[in-house]
Structure 1
């Protein structure tokens, strides 16, 4: 899908959000990407269908794989069309439509896919569940989209003045960027599997999955900031971009740091319950991965704002350097230290993304650490770490720790953030005003209590 989608999801969001002062700009961008996406999807589907008809899947993998390849070909078309619809909605600022539809897609897949598996259709049922959920959500997405775009635009001819080369260049560089980013996720697993075998790889992968829980909010920020910053770049609002980037980095660091402290404190309680007591071996790699995962979490929104500018060559250089560091360190450390070496190498590779993308951001023209308030956040983290680790040590039961420590740690950490002015009163008031009425009332009471 990296090749078949070819950066179309990112491109659709970015260029629709720019809304240049050209006649029917939004429609022209949508039509360009819709047609490109459809052609690439059909090519991909035909390749998978041809492979299926050739009988090669059954020969290589065993009986039954032929139908899987055919269904994947169908799924490719559905996923591609859904990608364009979702990208179009986000580019128009309709995340309140695109993201609920994405949740609906996952829910429909779970319901339909699990039902078909339960009734005996196995992997075919899983793939059919994917296809049906994607098809239904795509139809709903285009229904919403064409309330804001002229349906006849699909059939119009794009004018010769439309910057096709610029968009295609963005997409081509996006493929390279996505491949380099993806390599950071998989190189360690590949090396471990080849050099240490299944068991160590399984323990390490378990640690990696838990560590990546920290990316939940940064992933959302990365998704939103690409197209929202693109509109600001197109209007040369560099000061606003620096303000947005630095504020986002500060909030992101404050939140992810809390999650990292909590996960480090509760690792010995959480891992055995989540995976089983035999996975105690995953605890040390998890602790070693956390600093790097924190760095990558902070780099993600910065990365997205750079994408919004469209200067992908600088981002490719930064990501490529981090990928090379990750590759070399994994090759060097895994043969001697196994999964511990993989965790150290990957943590350094992930962490280098933050440093390199801060430098890339400064080169592009914005400062993501302009208002970081690092000393205040450090003070908050030191005090909160003492409280959270102390509370964890005082509780003997893993279950009780997992129930008590997170809410107490969150309350203590939140109070410290406000007392040390990591989040200013004006910013707090602005955040509270965005909450639904019942939550807003409780938040206001909490603020009065703290003050």
Structure 2
């Protein structure tokens, strides 16, 4: 019975992952295209200003959301048998996000001149207007994020993927491209981004009304409000620490660029490196779409064996799926950055390599953070994030002064690796759950063979493709050929070593024939 329950949970998570992988694959492609259009259309300096504006909003969104995303995923499945309480919790989430989004948006608009004092003087001419236009994004994006979390909690991942991973990047690409083609400068491009989000917001409301069959109800009781905010407010502090641990590097690169970093367009280069390294998180993000509500349900029902089985298999899958792109990004780091510009490749290759190592550590621990959160250890996750967030700020400040742009990557990679090691230890100590086994030997061997194939391919092709076009064209040819051959080698070795029987059984039962 336990195995059947575990497989049922894994089937739900895998269904969410399959939708997300398809949508996120398109999302990554569109965001890659968006950044390429911005770099080529605006130039390195204005792209850096655009990037810094979005980073400031990333910090602000922690306080607009106030933990409501995770609260929706916690309480909607938890009160499945109490529809009225479920609706009141949802209404509380929406109201909290709306008030938070408007309040913080107004604060950003008014504080824009003060914030601008801290950026490089080269960017100050544009930054006030950029922040003020982007401030209109806050309530829109906060509520859009809530709508996506609702669909995740209802195990309807296709609509969450449609909203967040297809409509949002697609409309931003279209809006930005039109703005640049019409000759609009930076502010017009920022305004196009806001308009795109407004359109997504309207479409998301339509989908929620038509597909969810769960309408919010306002007027939560005092007891319900205490329960809600006892969960969400610690998560707000937790998310603040998470942003400090994972995104403060980009903000500090932008704000310290003039004083300690001599690299031209440092924040733009660092942004592209984070986007490319972030592709490695696709498998983990995919399986995390439905893992939190299902983990919450298993934990609340006392099914710890099923939770452990689910945790182990998802962690092994995310590691396996993340390993190959990590190896490819390491071998072809220079070629990936050349696609944007030669200067980005010259200055950003080492940064990309460090961030790739960090994100591989992320996917190697699977959904460990969600395991802690959904087993009622959210205060522990709060301590984790703040401790490491503060360390990230301090390390970035010290290492940027000492080493410049590469110092930010060293600091952040160290923090990401540390936090993931700590999560594994804590999950074991608190719940006696451990995801690793000898089964990891197979993907490691497959990765080693694929690395050898890609290195060999790159060496052989260098003598033939040089001179066939620009550096970007040559890089694309090398990356495409090497990537395909490396993937064939990776998959072939996995097949020859043998697919795990539990995986064979699962896919035989759940994949269409």
TM-score range, shorter-chain basis?
0.7 to 0.9
Residue 337 (structure 1) shift: 3.9
Q: Determine the structure 2 residue equivalent to 1:95.
A: 157
Q: Is the 8 A contact 1:5 1:37 kept in 2?
A: yes
Residue 183 (structure 1) shift: 1.6
Q: Determine the structure 2 residue equivalent to 1:195.
A: 260
**What CA distance in whole angstroms lies between the structure 1 residues aligned with 2:340 and 2:169?**
23
**What CA distance in whole angstroms lies between the structure 1 residues aligned with 2:72 and 2:272?**
35
Distance 1:327-1:80 versus aligned 2 partners, 3 A rule? closer
Q: Structure 1 residue runs of 4+, over 6 Å off?
A: 55-60
**What CA distance in whole angstroms lies between the structure 1 residues aligned with 2:209 and 2:80?**
20
Q: Is the 8 A contact 1:302 1:358 kept in 2?
A: yes
Larger Rg: 1 or 2?
1
Q: Is the 8 A contact 2:368 2:423 kept in 1?
A: yes
Q: Determine the structure 1 residue equivalent to 2:56.
A: none
What is the CA deviation profile of residues 177-216 of structure 1, one whole-angstrom value per residue up to 9, with x for unaligned ones? 2222212334444266342334383555554443333223
Distance 1:322-1:374 versus aligned 2 partners, 3 A rule? farther
Residue 365 (structure 1) shift: 1.6
Distance 1:142-1:261 versus aligned 2 partners, 3 A rule? same
Distance 1:370-1:271 versus aligned 2 partners, 3 A rule? closer
Q: Determine the structure 1 residue equivalent to 2:54.
A: none
Determine helix, strand or coil for the equivalent of 1:346.
helix
Distance 1:184-1:382 versus aligned 2 partners, 3 A rule? same
Unaligned runs of 5+ in 1: 441-451
Q: Is the 8 A contact 1:302 1:368 kept in 2?
A: no
Q: Determine the structure 2 residue equivalent to 1:405.
A: 482
Residue 171 (structure 1) shift: 1.7
Q: Determine the structure 1 residue equivalent to 2:93.
A: 33
**What CA distance in whole angstroms lies between the structure 2 residues aligned with 1:331 and 1:48?**
24
Q: Determine the structure 2 residue equivalent to 1:378.
A: 444
**What CA distance in whole angstroms lies between the structure 2 residues aligned with 1:187 and 1:68?**
17
TM-score normalized by the length of structure 2: 0.73
**What CA distance in whole angstroms lies between the structure 1 residues aligned with 2:396 and 2:460?**
37
Unaligned runs of 5+ in 2: 1-60, 119-123, 466-474
Residue 371 (structure 1) shift: 4.1
Residue 385 (structure 1) shift: 2.6
Which shifted more, 2-11 or 360-369? 360-369
Q: Is the 8 A contact 1:13 1:226 kept in 2?
A: yes
Q: Is the 8 A contact 1:229 1:308 kept in 2?
A: yes
Q: Is the 8 A contact 1:315 1:360 kept in 2?
A: no
**What CA distance in whole angstroms lies between the structure 2 residues aligned with 1:223 and 1:375?**
27
Which shifted more, 56-65 or 314-323? 56-65
Q: Determine the structure 2 residue equivalent to 1:12.
A: 72
Distance 1:130-1:328 versus aligned 2 partners, 3 A rule? closer
What is the CA deviation profile of residues 129-171 of structure 1, one whole-angstrom value per residue up to 9, with x for unaligned ones? 44444344334333333354454x535x334553x22321222
Distance 1:231-1:258 versus aligned 2 partners, 3 A rule? same
Q: Determine the structure 1 residue equivalent to 2:496.
A: 419
Matched, 1:220 2:286: yes
Q: Is the 8 A contact 2:136 2:194 kept in 1?
A: yes
What is the CA deviation profile of residues 44-82 of structure 1, one whole-angstrom value per residue up to 9, with x for unaligned ones? 344456669xx989999558956962x545433322332
Mapping for residues 422-441 of structure 1, pairs under 5 Å? 423-428=499-504, 430-431=506-507
Q: Is the 8 A contact 2:450 2:487 kept in 1?
A: no
**What CA distance in whole angstroms lies between the structure 2 residues aligned with 1:283 and 1:42?**
39
Q: Is the 8 A contact 1:170 1:310 kept in 2?
A: no
Distance 1:348-1:150 versus aligned 2 partners, 3 A rule? closer
What is the CA deviation profile of residues 286-321 of structure 1, one whole-angstrom value per residue up to 9, with x for unaligned ones? 334332221123346221232223422211233334
**What CA distance in whole angstroms lies between the structure 2 residues aligned with 1:330 and 1:128?**
32
Residue 247 (structure 1) shift: 0.9
Distance 1:12-1:326 versus aligned 2 partners, 3 A rule? same
Q: Determine the structure 1 residue equivalent to 2:360.
A: 294
Residue 89 (structure 1) shift: 1.9
Q: Is the 8 A contact 1:242 1:370 kept in 2?
A: no
Q: Determine the structure 1 residue equivalent to 2:276.
A: 210
Residue 251 (structure 1) shift: 0.9
**What CA distance in whole angstroms lies between the structure 2 residues aligned with 1:344 and 1:31?**
43
Give 2:296's match in structure 1, choosing from 208, 218, 230. 230
Residue 91 (structure 1) shift: 1.3
**What CA distance in whole angstroms lies between the structure 2 residues aligned with 1:277 and 1:126?**
23
Determine helix, strand or coil for the equivalent of 1:154.
coil
Q: Is the 8 A contact 2:244 2:390 kept in 1?
A: no
Q: Is the 8 A contact 1:249 1:368 kept in 2?
A: no
**What CA distance in whole angstroms lies between the structure 2 residues aligned with 1:342 and 1:99?**
32
Determine helix, strand or coil for the equivalent of 1:395.
helix
Q: Determine the structure 2 residue equivalent to 1:362.
A: 428
Residue 356 (structure 1) shift: 0.6
Q: Determine the structure 2 residue equivalent to 1:449.
A: none
